Structure 1
Amino acid sequence: MKLMPLSLSLIAVFALAGCDRIDPNSPLGKRKAIYQQMLDTKEDLGGMLRGRLAFDPQGFVSGAAKLDELSRQPWQYYPEVKEDQSDARDDVWQQQERFNQMARELEAHTAALVAATAKVPVTAESVAPAFQRVEDACEACHQKFRAY
């Protein structure tokens, strides 16, 4: 009989733990998934430039193209009203013109990174400045609009 209260307690804990989950099909879930893919791709590219990973010119070229494609996707998943679980500051919705401008700046920087990878030979030195501008654009937007 002592197992019954313990079992019920465990079921309640697991049920409550699931309440904080984000629906992957919600706008928040979709943009978080895109941002995670962007982060993973950016970390791989940065790892190649910082020596954590071996520099692979073709891998860098394909990673830059993937990052450029991803950089154009999350903006469509910002609803008109902020969701409760969002990491974004209210400023995203209060300063939409600036937010959209920063999104376009990121897109321009990822496009410039792709253009830098078109110049042969692709070396860490030849793409590092363009990659740094992408990182700076990400950081600027996070500083302005992300609630840490």
Structure 2
Amino acid sequence: MVWKIIRYFFFLSIGLLLFYGTLQSISTHDWKTMRSLWTWQSLGVVSFCTLLSHTARLQRWRLLLAAADAPTGFNRATQALFMGYAVNLVVPRLGELTRCWALNPTRDTPYTTRLLGTVVVERITDIGVLFVLLCITWFTQWQTMQLWL
């Protein structure tokens, strides 16, 4: 129990130290300008939209996992998803593999293959939706885009 507390505070202090180092690079003038531009309402709206986006992605992945005969609980899938986000900050695209690893630390290879398959299907779906949104934007905003071309 003591080691868990020590480990918790160790990683928390590393995170706070990195956060402090990041904020040190912002000048006082820039910091005051940024603070004057945001409101609590805008922060609340952005936070809500971010939470909604993460929840939708999590539920979509859980549906794919259930279809691949690998049902996963909400908490465990959430931990795996955010672990993947954290790893993506350090090494891009390694987060997807980390998500699968986090859900499958002790199982056999076919199960891991199914988990990777759900990530591949999710990425293909993301690309498809992005393409559809690009086409919609292209056709609905053609007049505006002609000014730039």
* TM-score tier after normalising by the smaller chain length: under 0.3
The TM-score normalised by the length of structure 1 is: 0.25
| Larger helix percent | 2
Structure having greater relative contact order (Cα 8 Å, sep ≥ 6)? 1
The TM-score normalised by the length of structure 2 is: 0.25
